[in-house]
Structure 1
Amino acid sequence: MDRLLANETVNAAQAGEGPPLFLFHSLLSDRASFDAIAPELAGSFQTIVPELPGFGRSRPVAGGLAAVADRMAEAVRDAAGGAPSIVLGNGYGGFVALQMAISHPGIASRLILADCGAAFSEPGREAFRNMAKISREKGLEAISDVAMRRLFAPDFQAQHPDLMLGRREAFLRTDPDVFRAACDALASLDLRAELAGVNVPVLVMVGEQDEATPPLMSHELAAGLPRAELKIIPGCAHVPPLQAPQLFLGALKGFLP
């Protein structure tokens, strides 16, 4: 069931009953990347899967990652009735969740940050600047191969052609301006100095083959957070919930209440 949150600016799917659990999707994908895990999570939680601002039917917001995080904080409070919630973010959704926890202490009771980090290396920043530049000059189609490589390792792509067709189509539906704004935000992001203020339990997860946000970023993130543990998902790239849903769900056991 879909519902509108945050003064009808954020569209979200909701299922199940129990403590609220939010799933924030990545930049190169959409909320369908959680389709393989959301039904199982909905057996124990009120599972809310929003379209991040500018994606799907959610309205865009100006002002960079901090503004996106503020909008999502409003949506989380709306859906959860002000109660602290569990927030899981993958990729860009992880950066949004981390920024939200920094800017709005107490909004999350637990965080699961999958395939993200606190800051990119200079080559990582340059990759975002290049994607923004090429997409501005030639359109999203011109970087679709790069985008898919950042999501999935080549062997996985070759073995799942139907899934890859759907993921490519989802990426090409992205609003180009929203995509470029997110690239610009990630290219300049550095949250390392603010990690010490995140005083909730955090599970940091990363696919061992992730090229978009390499495992080194997750090691640095977990080391900078006061109450974090790190788990590596074997054989996965940037979107473990889609590539290996049972492995991903298994990694959550022992952390989710």
Structure 2
Amino acid sequence: MRITFAGGRIAAEALGSGQPLLLFHSLLADRTSFDRITAPLAERFQVIVPDLPGFGASEVVAGGLEAVADRMAEAVCDLQGSHRPMVLGNGFGGFVALQMVIRHPGLVRRLILADCGACFSEPGRQAFRTMAAVSAAKGLDALSETAMRRLFAPDFQAANPALMRERLAAFLRTDPAVFRAACEALGGLDLRPDLAKVDVPVLVLVGEQDEATPPAMSQELAAGLPDAQLTVLPGCAHVPQLQSPQEFLSAVFPFLVGEPGTRASPRIHAVA
């Protein structure tokens, strides 16, 4: 079912019923990157998969990551009822979700941050500056190989050519101006001083082969949050819900069904 939020400025797909669960997609992907996990999740939750601002049918918003986070907070507020929604963000969607929770305390019940962090290293910042410059000069086509490498390890790409064609097409549908604005925002981001403001349990996930947001970023993120647990997914890269959907669901489902107020035990473990 196609629905809209935030005064019609955010478009989304919704399925299932129950506790609302929003899925925020990556910069290098789109909402279809969750297609392999939405049906299983919808057996228990009302799963809502929005197009982030500037993607798909959602309106662009000016003002950097803070403005994007505020727009998504408007969408989440539209779901407020007897239960606060839960949010799962992957990559860029994770940074948006984290910024949203920092800026809007009490908005969500639980938070899953998959393959993101609080701050990039200088080489990571430079990578975003380079991608922004290349896209401006040559277009997104010139970043095709880079984008796919940041999503999946080379051996996985070689073994899954059909999926690679699908993911490349999704990346090339991205508005170049939105892509550059997001790169600039991520290149200057540092949320580490604000992590103590996060007032909900958080599950931090990361693929052990993630080159875009390496595991060290997730480790730093989990260590800086008041109530977090960290899970490393072996063999996975930046979009584990596409690469290993069953393993991803096995990691997130117990956290999602936890009782309200249950404190996440700080720990690190791998899902085989």
TM, length-normalised to structure 1: 0.99
CA shift for structure 1 position 225: 0.2
- Partner of 1:241 in structure 2? 241
Residues 79 and 85 in structure 2, CA contact (< 8 A), matched pair in contact too:
no
- Partner of 2:106 in structure 1? 106
- Partner of 1:35 in structure 2? 35
Please give the alpha-carbon distance, in whole angstroms, between the structure 2 residues aligned to 1:38 and 1:107.
Answer: 22
- Partner of 2:147 in structure 1? 147
Please give the alpha-carbon distance, in whole angstroms, between the structure 2 residues aligned to 1:255 and 1:157.
Answer: 30
Per-residue displacement from partner, 1:72-102 (whole Å, max 9, x unpaired)? 0001111344842110000000000000000
Residues 83 and 107 in structure 1, CA contact (< 8 A), matched pair in contact too:
no
CA shift for structure 1 position 11: 0.4
- Partner of 2:262 in structure 1? none
1:141 alignment partner AA:
D
- Partner of 2:212 in structure 1? 212
Please give the alpha-carbon distance, in whole angstroms, between the structure 1 residues aligned to 2:200 and 2:72.
Answer: 18
CA shift for structure 1 position 254: 2.2
- Partner of 1:254 in structure 2? 254
- Partner of 2:198 in structure 1? 198
- Partner of 1:58 in structure 2? 58
CA shift for structure 1 position 183: 0.1
* Secondary structure of 1:231's aligned partner: strand
Per-residue displacement from partner, 1:119-154 (whole Å, max 9, x unpaired)? 000000000000000000000000111000000000
- Partner of 1:156 in structure 2? 156
Residues 129 and 183 in structure 2, CA contact (< 8 A), matched pair in contact too:
yes
1:71 alignment partner AA:
R
Residues 212 and 238 in structure 2, CA contact (< 8 A), matched pair in contact too:
yes
**Would you identify which runs of 4 or more consecutive aligned residues in structure 1 move more than 4 Å?**
none
- Partner of 2:122 in structure 1? 122
RMSD: 0.8
* Secondary structure of 2:255's aligned partner: coil
Equivalent residues, number? 257
1:101 alignment partner AA:
V
* Secondary structure of 1:255's aligned partner: helix
Q: Where does the alignment leave 5 or more consecutive residues of structure 2 unmatched? A: 258-272
Q: Where does the alignment leave 5 or more consecutive residues of structure 1 unmatched? A: none
2:251 alignment partner AA:
A
Please give the alpha-carbon distance, in whole angstroms, between the structure 2 residues aligned to 1:249 and 1:200.
Answer: 20
